[in-house]
Structure 1
């Protein structure tokens, strides 16, 4: 699961920074997904250590009477633009010294290698599978690592257009295991009616409201 909307009025690419909590709307998203999953056979709930992921996972764990676990492998991807606003006309890309970070979209040159994200996210998935073997687990993470591990499992190239990720706020990307092997991948958006229009998949960008801010 991707976390809900974050209170981020300045449009900062917050990455792994502390202090970014869910907005009131984000808390509604978390509650909605908790209700959606209430009837599922969930025996393990684990989240990235960042506040927005912990706050999203808490109502899900509570609904199932579970303690919330934490796994640092679910963290947001590292990014050199962390703490900055990101855009051509109104952010970090106005400064030529930042352009060098954009030279290689295949690795990528601006942050944590995609391959490293796959390794840690697969490790987190496998650990959760073992913790909930025979049942279901919920993992709360962030848009880019979720999309990258899904792309790996579905055998797509890892480099991609960020605007085309299918990983909306509070969405569920489902990995079904048969034994120790992933046999299918699913996707659903139980809180889509709460997601602002400019943050939905396929939406046109709005100045000052880039999708990256809600990663």
Structure 2
């Protein structure tokens, strides 16, 4: 078997009134708006031959995958490689950006933004995401949906495009409940990208105006 397309889908809005950088902390579930966003995004692909559904093990991703399961009559396959990266800011409420320089306790964490020094290396995130995509591609006859998180999806986007992995997190193109679609290509040389991005959509765009997007690093 081989898939025809892979859709990387970000989870919907999370109930997070305190603005916590939640990372892998358990217990962060979708808000009512987040459920509506996930449902809207799943309904947007009705009519497509979606035959496989994978999700990060975190609650917000599993809840975002549920409308896909209901809409397409699929079971959710938990894929650990789709998980949010671990990071040292989990549990805090600091705004990620230059303002971190005002907080001396964070200095040992941010000395190397190219790795990054505050959490799982970009190169490792990209590698596990591509590996998860490979596994889904080889196990799917049709189109596969993979529900994940902002940073892992951006790593896949950048790795496939041949861009440097380090970047400004404030400029990521990966909104809540967005869909980034990939097709498989023949690698020109060993180690070259095996996918190309063919589409990016924000099916829940109308709901984004009311959404609060916090918690990602």
Do they superpose with TM above 0.5? yes
CA distance in 2, matches of 1:156, 1:92: 26
Q: After TM superposition, what 4+ stretches of structure 1 lie above 6 angstroms from structure 2?
A: none
* Superimposed CA distance per residue, residues 33-76 of structure 1 (whole angstroms, 9 cap, x where no aligned partner): 11111211001001000000000011101111111110010000
Aligned counterparts, 1:36-55, within 5 A: 36-55=44-63
CA distance in 2, matches of 1:49, 1:149: 18
In structure 2, stretches of 5+ residues that fail to align are 1-8, 188-193
* Superimposed CA distance per residue, residues 80-116 of structure 1 (whole angstroms, 9 cap, x where no aligned partner): 001111138xx97654122111111100011100010
- SS at the partner of 2:10? coil
Q: Does 1:173 align with 2:180?
A: yes
Aligned to 2:4: none
CA positional deviation for 1:213: 1.8
TM-score (norm 2): 0.86
Contact 1:7–1:22 (Cα < 8 Å) also in 2: yes
- SS at the partner of 1:213? coil
* Superimposed CA distance per residue, residues 181-205 of structure 1 (whole angstroms, 9 cap, x where no aligned partner): 42443211010110136x7xxxxxx
Contact 1:86–1:93 (Cα < 8 Å) also in 2: no
Aligned counterparts, 1:24-39, within 5 A: 24-39=32-47
- SS at the partner of 1:77? coil
Q: Does 1:110 align with 2:123?
A: no
TM-score (norm 1): 0.87
Aligned to 1:153: 160
Aligned to 2:215: 213
In structure 1, stretches of 5+ residues that fail to align are 200-208
Q: Is the deviation greater in 30-39 or in 175-184? A: 175-184
Q: How many residues align?
A: 202
